[in-house]
Every structure is written in C-alpha cells, then in structure tokens.
C-alpha cells in the first residue's frame, strides 16, 4: 500500500487532562511518539504508551492523565487509495527494537524531506508491521510479552540508582501497582521490586570486586540510602555482608600470590 504524509507535528504539547479523538473518519493512520507516558483510546479501551514507545492506529483518542504536559511527535499518514483503515487496536511499539526503530527513523526522514510524495520503502515497512503485529494481544504464555512490562524491566536496569518505587513505576504506565506487580511477576518470575534489589546488589558486588570505592560510596552509587540497607539486601542474596565479601576476595587473591 502506498502512503502519503497528511500532517506532521514534530513537537505537539498534550496538556494535563487533555483527551480528544483524532481523525474519526478512519482514513488516516496516526503514529504517536511521546516523550513521557500518555494514553491512547479506541473503542472504549485505554492503552498506555510509555515514553520512548510509539503507538500506531486509526480513529484513536489521545489523552494525558498525568499532572504535567507531555510532548509528542505526531505523524498522520493517509493511504493513496483512501481506503478505510481497520486496525483492531493500537499497535504499541518499543522503539529500541530494531524493526520499530528503523521504521521510526525512515518515517522521520521521509516526513521532513518530502511529505507530499509517497515512499515505497516506508509504506512497505508500515504495511509489514501492521500485518505482523496488529493482532489481538496474546498472553505471555503464548509468546508475546506486553511491551509495557519490557519497558519497566529495562527502566529498572537503567535507573536502579534512582529512588524507584512500585507506585512510581505503576504511575508511569497509569495502572494499579498491584496489577503491575502481579503481571510482571507472571512474566519475569519475580516482582519489580525484587528485580530492583537483584540489580542493585549485583552492581554493588561488581564494584566491590573491581574497584577500590568505599562501601559508603558504593551504597549511594547503587541507589541505597544507608550502608545497613545495602548490607541487609547483600547478605540476603550472597550470604555475607559487603565488608565480608571484599575481605574474602582479598584473602583469595593473597593466597594465589
């Protein structure tokens, strides 16, 4: 299918409390790329779109339920034959995945360079993505993981130094904390907070082994507020305190000299 750019807004600000249906005629396909979490709605159902993700769909509403403005990149595409688009639900894509990142980069280049002209390569990529992914969402047991859970998993690994909480992570997806914990645990076999502790103590173990940083400095660098807090979680995972771990490592190295 050949497409053209109907409209392109590289920096659209969505104010708190905003909710509006875009292109109700279903002849336009919206590509929405928020910097922070927003919600898209279709047929009475809401779908969270985390920052850094992309939503693709027709006849969808955009809503901002957060207390602060959210900036989005919005591109409206129209098929050259003006056919009605029948997307079953918005496609929520993680732009760190190669095929979605490649599509987003090609779309940006095309819309900035010559939006009135059709692009066979972008059109082919878009058609392939819709055919491949725009199906009813399967449960994790059937193979495809909800991309929001992948985003939470990646956020914990990237931002473990920050004071993350279950409530804060749930707010970023605009969902209930208990729901997030239960669905995350079913996929990753541990809760988000337990995964956070695993990441932190593993980073602490690496710093104890590979650097001369003091334990107080390591404590702060991995996101704990006190040395005793680090010691509690570290001993739970490794059976020794950070001081004992470093001492044992030094003794082992001395024995090999």
195-241 pLDDT per residue, tens: 999 999 999 999 998 999 999 999 999 999 999 999 999 999 889 99
Q: What is the pLDDT of residue 103?
A: 85
Q: What is the pLDDT of residue 255?
A: 47
Measured CA to CA, the distance from residue 199 to residue 162 in angstroms comes to 12
Could you tell me the two tokens for 121? 């390569």
Whether 147 and 94 have beta carbons less than 8 Å apart is answered as yes
Could you tell me the two tokens for 234? 């570290």
Helices (H), 87-191: 98-113, 120-133, 147-158, 166-173, 177-188
DSSP 140: G
Buried b (16+ CB within 10 A) or exposed e, 137-164: eeeeeeeeebbbbbbbbebbeeebeeeb
Could you tell me the two tokens for 164? 């993350």
Radius of gyration over alpha carbons of the chain, in Å? 23
Q: What is the pTM of this model?
A: 0.52
Could you tell me the two tokens for 226? 């006190």
Measured CA to CA, the distance from residue 40 to residue 220 in angstroms comes to 38
Question: Tens place of pLDDT for every residue, the chain, 257 residues?
Answer: 577 788 888 888 889 888 777 766 567 888 999 998 888 888 788 888 888 888 888 888 888 888 889 999 988 888 766 555 555 578 888 787 777 888 888 888 877 765 444 455 777 787 777 666 553 333 343 445 778 888 898 899 889 999 999 999 988 887 889 999 999 998 888 899 999 999 999 999 999 989 999 999 999 999 999 999 999 999 998 899 999 999 887 655 554 44
- Among 78, 34, 39, smallest CA distance to 54 is for 34
Whether 201 and 238 have beta carbons less than 8 Å apart is answered as yes
How many whole angstroms from its chain centre is CA 256?
Answer: 46
């Amino acid at each position: 299918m050949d497409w053209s750019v109907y409209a392109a807004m590289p920096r659209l600000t969505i104010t708190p409390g905003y909710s509006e249906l875009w292109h109700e005629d279903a002849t336009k396909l919206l590509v929405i790329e928020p910097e922070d979490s927003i919600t898209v709605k279709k047929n009475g159902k809401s779908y969270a779109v985390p920052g850094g993700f992309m939503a693709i769909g027709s006849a969808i509403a955009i809503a901002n339920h957060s207390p602060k403005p959210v900036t989005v990149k919005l591109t409206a595409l129209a098929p050259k034959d003006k056919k009605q688009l029948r997307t079953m639900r918005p496609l929520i894509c993680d732009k760190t995945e190669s095929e979605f990142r490649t599509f987003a980069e090609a779309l940006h280049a095309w819309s900035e360079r010559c939006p009135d002209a059709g692009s066979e390569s972008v059109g082919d990529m878009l058609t392939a993505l819709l055919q491949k992914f725009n199906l009813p969402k399967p449960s994790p047991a059937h193979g495809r993981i909800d991309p929001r859970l992948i985003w939470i998993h990646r956020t914990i690994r990237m931002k473990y130094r920050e004071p993350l909480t279950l409530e804060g992570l749930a707010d970023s997806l605009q969902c209930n904390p208990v729901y997030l914990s239960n669905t995350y645990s079913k996929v990753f076999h541990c809760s988000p907070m337990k995964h956070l502790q695993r990441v932190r103590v593993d980073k602490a173990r690496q710093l104890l082994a590979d650097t001369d940083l003091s334990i107080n400095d390591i404590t702060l660098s991995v996101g704990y507020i006190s040395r005793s807090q680090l010691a509690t979680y570290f001993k739970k995972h490794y059976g020794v305190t950070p001081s004992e771990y470093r001492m044992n490592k030094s003794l082992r190295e001395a024995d090999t000299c």
